[in-house]
A and B are shown apart, each in its own frame.
Chain A
Amino acid sequence: MEQNQPAPNTRRIAIDPVSRVEGHGKITLLLDQDNHVQEARLHIVEFRGFEKFIQGRPYTEVPYFVQRLCGICPVSHHLAAAKAVDQIVGVDELTPSATKLRRLLHFGQVLQSHALHFFHLSSPDFLFGFGSNLAHRNIVGVLEDHPDLALKGVKLRKYGQQVIAAIAGKRIHGTAAIPGGMNKSLSNDERKVLLGDIADIIAWSQDAVALNETIHLQHPENHAFATLSTNYLGMVGSQGEMELYHGGLRARQADGSEIFDQFDYTQYGSAIREEVRNWSYMKFPYLTAIGKDKGWYRVGPLARVNLCDSIPTPLAEAARVRFRAFAGGAYVHDTLAYHWARMIEMLHCAEAIQELLNDPDITGTDLVVHGEKRAQGIGVIEAPRGTLFHHYQVNEQGLIEKANLIVSTTSNNQAMNESVRSVANHYLDGQEITEGLLNHLEVAVRAYDPCLSCATHALGKMPLQVELFSHNGELLSRATKNSDGCAVTPHPLAPSPSRGEGEQEIQSLSPSPLEGRPCKGLGAGLG
């Protein structure tokens, strides 16, 4: 299925862009004359380059720099980088007030992101049907037909952003974390305002859980939709409970058997490696314990709700128990259950926000700890879309030398492609292709809530292919840059060089290869 060369007598269909996701990507289908699917792929066509262009910048700028990766969950990047910078300034533990402020900020972030994803982006698919009228299948349609539901969604997101603004100064791209702590605490007035609405937020989050639970239970046809039996990776607390800000890593196979648990994330390089394939700007990570072929895994709400032994807030825990009971206590592999799990997490965030707002430490002013400088820092958090890794090395002058980011969506890359293939095979194969059928592919991708902007940050390692066609569509020449940065120009019309050959060592943070560097014996570079 995953092939590079279009076979004769095939036609290609592209969904470009994939809509109602963050960032820009496209899905391509290769169909033969009988509409049988020969190939189905999710391509990530954006290019960002953050890992490269923060090199040479002072480490103090990094938490503010990298949050610009995204406008949906900038707080996740801000906090992951801040945790790494804490280590660079020699701080392993913040003051209680600073830790709780960061947790509150993060819960606000996850809440608003999850609300955005379900209500604004995904709910039209479930309220109107995957193949329903395209013109109506959007948030405006939801506002017309279900105004109460849509407004609750808008207000849930707004509340999460109010939490962020109270702590970071702005809803998007504020400032909060500084090396070794936070730059402000919550005032009593801010606390009162936020507490004033929290009961509604919890109630509406419960409604959202119930709605998703009902949708999933009442639509058995959704259970196998794009469903994959996969490994899962996520963070858990010391007691195995759900933990979004700081804990150990847990990875388990589809049957629940352990791969690792309470794994120190600063050693992530020994647990995860990344593969580069020459048709996508997004890398393919895998668990080294399982290997490249079967070591791919899923992250995000489905992984976290499956992996944790409990959720430390009562309403969300009750919802988790019902969720797991759906699969008879085993892991829920239904890809569309991502939405259900996401709403359980939103409920957990709402409850956790209430707890933190009632905690006296949240208005404390002891906010900064100092330490001795170190040469590197690794920060990991559970972002709304999954486990997020930030790794920085600095020189003796405090400038960034190397950076590696493994963004949540990257971890779901293989799974999203597998889901797209699954849907293509089951729903589209042999059919006359319609927009409604094509939306099924997007529904599969949308379940993962991918942030394609965040996920394409590498520079210098990107594979690239340039093809020259004649006016009648005949391929005249092709130039390819491999994932190791080597540029090759094969003989015109010769098969493309082997794909999927790239592999990046994480632990060593190997420097980016020279762009356009000629490969030995393989001819001239790309221009």
Chain B
Amino acid sequence: MSNMFFIDGQEIAFTPGQTIMDAALAAGIYIPHLCHKPGLTPQGSCKLCTVDVDGRSASACTLPATAGMKVDNNTPALQEVRKTLLQMLFVEGNHLCPTCLKSGDCTLQALGYHLGMLDGHFPPFYPLREVDASHPDVLLDRDRCIVCALCVRASREVDGKNVFAIGRRGANARLIVNSPSGKLGDSDLAADDLAAHICPVGAIMPKNHGFEVPIGRRTFDLHSVAESDVATPVTLKKTEHHDE
């Protein structure tokens, strides 16, 4: 019984200190998530990994597993809650999948399909947000930012830089750039930094590329978001040419 807990009745092993999310991913169990990537400090902001732990809601990416813990994950009620959270993320930004070059490689979009989201449900905010195209190689389109802070953590924890931060609070929270002008072009972001590639949506994208990966060969054309090998490495394939 030691170092074992239950997800949807299935017994799972964990190492002490390991979160529910990381133990689940290690066991090949998918818990929907957007702001989590193994190896980076857990953030717990998107709340899509909400699970019921012994009758109480918790974020699987931040709560350490404990022996004998009973976790409900893949239940209709929780999937409905996650779909609602997803709808709120969609209406809060300007997510126009038909013209977004991340389409097919976007985790937000893939989760929409995975959770059976058919509309935004809530009235769209249509926020006015700034596009920052000042960097020669990387485009920052805040319309699509879901404030998951993966880029913030990747820059600090992997790239050894401090390019991004989350400014303001609550509904006004937004991605800011640590540079004298606040522009990406004045920061020390490099095109091959992890922070330039980790965005799960189309907010941080390589510039000067079209839909180079044809329909049918994009990440989520080939894989379900629920496949743990897809869920783990959140990288961009836009600069590869896949035609063979």
Contact = CB atoms under 8 A, between A and B. Distances in A.
Contacts of B139: 58
A60 B208 contact: yes
A60 B214 contact: no
24 contacts: A57-B99, A58-B133, A58-B139, A58-B207, A60-B208, A60-B210, A68-B98, A68-B99, A89-B208, A169-B215, A169-B216, A175-B211, A176-B214, A178-B209, A178-B211, A179-B208, A179-B209, A179-B210, A183-B213, A184-B243, A365-B243, A368-B241, A398-B133, A399-B133
A156 interface: no
A525 B217 CA distance: 52
Binding site secondary structure of chain A: loop
Contact of B214 (A58, A85, A175): A175
Contact of A178 (B98, B99, B210, B217): B210
Contacts of B211: 64, 175, 178, 183
Interface in A24-73: 56-58, 60-61, 63-65, 68
B131 A64 contact: no
A405 interface: no
Interface string B206-228: 01111111111100000000000
B119 interface: no
Interface of B: 98-101, 131, 133-134, 139, 207-217, 241, 243-244
A169 B99 contact: no
A116 interface: no
A265 to B, nearest CB: 22
Nearest to A165: B215
A368 B208 CA distance: 13
Contacts of B99: 57, 61, 64-65, 68
A58 B101 CA distance: 10
Contacts of A56: 131
Given A176-B214, A398-B133, 16 more contacts: A56-B131, A57-B99, A57-B131, A58-B131, A58-B139, A64-B98, A64-B211, A65-B99, A177-B210, A178-B209, A183-B211, A183-B212, A183-B214, A184-B214, A398-B207, A399-B131
A398 B137 CA distance: 11
Nearest to B139: A58
A170 interface: yes
Contacts of B216: 169
Contacts of B131: 56-58, 399
A367 interface: yes
Interface in A391-430: 397-399
B214 to A, nearest CB: 4
A178 B134 CA distance: 22
B217 to A, nearest CB: 8
A178 B243 CA distance: 13
B210 to A, nearest CB: 3
B69 to A, nearest CB: 45
Interface of A: 56-58, 60-61, 63-65, 68, 85, 89, 168-170, 173-179, 183-185, 365, 367-368, 397-399
A68 B96 CA distance: 12
A515 B98 CA distance: 28
A166 B151 CA distance: 37
Contacts of B208: 60, 89, 179, 398
Given A64-B98, A174-B215, A397 B134 contact: yes
Contacts of B100: 61
Nearest to A54: B99
A174 to B, nearest CB: 6
Contact of A365 (B207, B210, B215, B244): B244
Nearest to A173: B98
Nearest to B131: A56
- Of all A-B residue pairs in the complex, the 6 with the closest CB atoms, nearest first, are A169-B215, A178-B210, A175-B211, A397-B133, A184-B214, A65-B99
Interface centre among A56, A173, A175, A368 (most CB of B within 10 A): A175
Interface centre among B207, B208, B244 (most CB of A within 10 A): B208
A60 B209 CA distance: 6
Interface centre among B207, B211, B215 (most CB of A within 10 A): B211
B133 A169 contact: no
Contact of A168 (B209, B215, B243): B215
A355 to B, nearest CB: 23
Nearest to A59: B208
Contacts of B241: 368
Contacts of B213: 183
Given A61-B101, A64-B99, A175 B215 contact: yes
A367 B212 CA distance: 11
A184 B216 CA distance: 11
Given A68-B98, A169-B215, A183 B133 contact: no
A176 B131 CA distance: 25
A377 to B, nearest CB: 14
